[in-house]
Amino acid sequence: IFFQIFDAFKSRLHDSNSKVNQVALETMHKMIPLLKDNLTPVINMLIPAMVDNNLNSKNAGIYAAATNVIQALCQHLDNSLLLQPFCTKAQFLNGKAKQDMTEKLA
């Protein structure tokens, strides 16, 4: 059931409605400290949804929410779980998102 919940939630993380997108990111930011390593099974699904469009967003609220989510992941999850998805994103992103992910990896 955990996968079903996050599969549905994932689409809100890159919703075309910027308000929905931002609230989803802010909600994710609140959920990370509560769920911590329980997110392990869904982390490879969630990171692309959180990062792909959001770190390059021209909407300041969405960008701030996305960077807060990435920071929360780094603070509350085992960093070894984040290494592969962060490397993949850093390799294939461009612009500010690539810079942000590269800095997180460093």
Measured between alpha carbons, how far is residue 5 from residues 10, 27, 71, 76, 98 in Å?
9, 14, 23, 20, 28
Q: 96 burial class (0-12, 13-18, 19+ CB within 10 angstroms)?
A: middle
Which pLDDT band holds residue 101 (cuts at 50, 70, 90)? very high
Q: What is the pLDDT of residues 39-81, one digit of tens each?
A: 999 999 999 999 988 999 999 999 999 999 999 999 999 999 9
Rounded CA-CA distance 62/96 in Å is 13
Quote the pTM value.
Answer: 0.92
In single-letter form, the type of residue at position 89 comes to K
Cβ-contact 29, 69 below 8 angstroms: yes
Q: What is the pLDDT of residue 64?
A: 97
97 pLDDT more than 80 = yes
Q: What is the pLDDT of residues 6-34, one digit of tens each?
A: 999 999 998 999 999 999 999 999 999 99
Contacts of 11 (CB under 8 A, 6+ apart): 49
Cβ-contact 70, 51 below 8 angstroms: yes
